[in-house]
Amino acid sequence: MLGQSNYLAIVGGGKNPKFPQNKLVIWDDAKQKAAITLEFRTSVLGVRLSKSKIVAVLLNSVHVFAFSNPPQKLSVFETYDNPLGLACLDQKVLAFPGRSPGQVQMIELETGNISIIPAHSTPLRAMALSPNGKMLATASESGTLVRIFATGNCTKLAELRRGVDHAVVFSISFSPSNTLLAVTSDKSTLHIFDIPHQQPAARRSQSPSSASEEAPPSHKWGILGKIPLLPRVFSDVYSFANAHFEIGEQANLSSPHVPPISSFGRPQKGLIGWCDDQTLLVVGSGKEGRWEKFVLRDGEEGKRYCLRDGWKRYLGG
């Protein structure tokens, strides 16, 4: 959906599709009819909309159109295999997988300049732009690290460790204030990270007066993280809070090549949505699909917690 407008992007799918999977329809809900129709040679795996652009993601290419009637094709970019239809779009930049595994292509829309970010050594699994468009977060099929890059100059701003074991990352999402990052995976765990150097003044003022006396809460191993020559897992930045969420039962979602939308019409498992900086929702799946509400709470000695605060089913039994 384009913001809170009346435009919806529709691609065929499911058991009895109304449209073929290689057709993209921009639906005008106010007029109850198709405003724009685009057809491709292969299935459309992802769609991103802005007020001026339509981006269609295929397995090995990304097609950019002007949001006009008739639509004008502006660019086509080749990509490495992208079965999840990964792409991020705002008014200034477009990001999607590059031509090699783990690479990101960053397009500056005003100038057309292309930057290549060697984000990971294995294929990308998830991507997200911050609300202010200044940061891009990426995760690969290994699922152990999330890296954050500046969209302005493509420099790496942070590296966050979800864990040491392989995991299938379902979703990554920035908070509205651009200071927190949430991550879900097939470990059935929601992790919340502080983004280094992006914390609000109120949070920074609560930190210890001497950084040398106490390691930040996000450094899981405390003083061990400062000892030279130890494995990097001791010095990496970990989540400050985590919580269990219900992912339900659904076949093959442990595979890194499962499309984001299942053939049963259910939403992406583990999808994250922030309501505000203290509240977020996580969508589960399976036979009893539900979304769950989580809240961030302050505890003693500056510790913060992520607590489940309710849930609601969106599917029948």
Residue 1, pLDDT > 70, answer yes
Cβ neighbours of 180 (radius 10 Å): 23
Residue 231, pLDDT > 60, answer no
How would residue 234 be classed by pLDDT, with cut points 50, 70 and 90? very low
Percent of the chain at pLDDT > 70 equals 80
Give the residue extent of every domain in the chain. 138-149+167-317
Ramachandran angles phi, psi of 177, nearest 5°: -85, 0
Strand partners, 53: 66
Residue 232, pLDDT > 60, answer no
Mean pLDDT across the stretch 302-316? 88
C-alpha distance from residue 292 to each of 16, 134, 295 (Å): 29, 29, 10
At residue 224, the 3 state secondary structure works out as helix
pLDDT at 18: 85
Which of 11, 1, 68 is CA-nearest to residue 39? 11
SS (H, E, C) 122-188: CCEEEEEECCCCCEEEEEECCCCEEEEEECCCCCEEEEEECCCCCCCEEEEEECCCCCEEEEEECCC
Residue 308, pLDDT > 70, answer yes
Q: Output b/e per residue, 25-37; b: 16+ Cβ within 10 A.
A: bbbeeeeeeebbe
Residue 316, pLDDT > 80, answer no
75-103: per-residue pLDDT in tens? 999 999 999 999 999 999 999 999 999 99
190-222: per-residue pLDDT in tens? 999 999 887 665 555 554 443 333 334 445 544
254-286: per-residue pLDDT in tens? 444 444 444 344 557 899 999 999 999 998 876
Average of per-residue pLDDT values in the chain: 85
pLDDT at 127: 97
At residue 214, the 3 state secondary structure works out as coil
143-189: per-residue pLDDT in tens? 999 999 999 999 999 999 999 899 999 999 999 999 999 999 999 99
Residue type at position 307: L
Total-model pTM: 0.85
